[in-house]
Amino acid sequence: MAGEEIRNTQVIFRDYVSGFPKESDMYISTSATIKLKLPEGSTGSLVLKNLYLACDPYLRIRMQRIENPIVFTSFTPGSALNGYGVGKVVESGHPDFKQGDLVWGTTGFEEYSLITETAQLFKIHHTDVPLSYYTGILGMPGMTAYAGFYEVCSPKKGEYVFVSAAFSAVGQLVGQFAKLMGCYVVGSAGSKEKVSHNHPQYACIIFKCFQLQEEQDWDAALRRYFPEGIDIYFDNVGGKMLDAVLLNMRFHGRVSVCGMISQYNRDPPEGITNMINVIFKRIRVEGFATFDYYHLYPNFLEFVLPLVREGKIAYVEDIAQGLESAPAALVGVYSGRNVGKQVVAVAPES
């Protein structure tokens, strides 16, 4: 079988998007084929069978036409999307990977992917935890939460921490990391359904959380939850929430800017009008990129795996079945339909 071409179902990016993405901005194609055997001399390449794909918020940025790419490049209309995923090596021309290895990293939104660039591919050594976790808590979002909280925020026990998008892949981890550290933690989430996950059955997700639509005035809500002000804001949403937070920061507060999901579909973005508080309260607002911290990945795994195994940290996933569900699952992330990390299961693990 390995020598012949087989069908390779793909999620194709139709054309550049403005505003909110729709399911019809993607389509499922069954017309592509792939050879599972690498051509002679394909040193450094791999063929991957994709098992799980991550519906990461940043993918929206890649759906627009990016004239001067600085961090992200646009998807190519007519080609499959790509992003983070978990896969199994079907064939390897790379000395570090062998057939049957499990990996996570950048792959295609398709059944099988030919990977020619392995720099951002990590081998999975621990399989006593759900494999899908490597699209989340044990993968890029986990590293994002770890680097963005511990490295960027310099947190101290007892500090007042606010996390927006508190049940997102990253947000739920930041909240729990902060809680484990002995911080006072409050989160915000977009729906009641999300906040309902804030329940003892979810072990450690027991920080306070308020629901955005239930609050007329976010500044007032923050004042109620943080009468003493906020030391650390882990920003996943940007826009008006960031503006309200700036009013409620404490002296020498830190804002770790991880994402701005509320702004990705807006042109122009909402204006931030409370920047003067950055001076008054000597606030540090800092953006970061997870890939600047990947050298810490082994430290991170050593830290987080025991917490996962001992049930000291909970992790909520929203798993959609089959590549066909990918367009709806991805679009749902921007309307906040998912509860927990949105994953697409592409194929059975074995």
Shortest distance (Å) from residue 263 CB to a copy of itself: 6
Shortest distance (Å) from residue 241 CB to a copy of itself: 12
Give the x/- contact pattern for a copy of itself in 229-248, rule: CB under 8 A.
---------x---x------
* Tokens representing residue 134 in the block: 């490597």
Chain centroid to Cα 4, Å, comes to 36
Alpha helices in 130-238 (DSSP H): 140-146, 169-180, 192-195, 218-225
Q: Report the C-alpha gap between 111 and 213 in whole angstroms.
A: 38
Element (H, E) at 256: strand 249-257
Strand partners, 112: 49
- CB nearer a copy of itself, residue 133 or residue 150: 150
Of the residues 7, 224, 282, 309, which one makes contact with a copy of itself according to CB under 8 A: 282
Residue type (1 letter), 182: G
Asked if 1 interacts with a copy of itself (CB under 8 A), we say no
Asked if 260 interacts with a copy of itself (CB under 8 A), we say yes
Shortest distance (Å) from residue 287 CB to a copy of itself: 4
Q: Report the C-alpha gap between 156 and 219 in whole angstroms.
A: 24
Of the residues 28, 203, 285, 328, which one makes contact with a copy of itself according to CB under 8 A: 285
Q: How far is CA 24 from CA 21, 28, 77, 289, 326, in A?
A: 8, 10, 13, 30, 11
Asked if 16 interacts with a copy of itself (CB under 8 A), we say no
Asked if 284 interacts with a copy of itself (CB under 8 A), we say yes
Size, binding site for a copy of itself by CB under 8 A = 34
Asked if 337 interacts with a copy of itself (CB under 8 A), we say no
Q: Which residue has the tokens 């646009």?
A: 74
Asked if 288 interacts with a copy of itself (CB under 8 A), we say yes
Shortest distance (Å) from residue 295 CB to a copy of itself: 15
Q: Which residue has the tokens 């943080």?
A: 226
Q: Report the C-alpha gap between 181 and 350 in whole angstroms.
A: 38
Contacts to a copy of itself by CB under 8 A: 70-72, 238, 242, 251, 257-260, 263, 268-289, 292
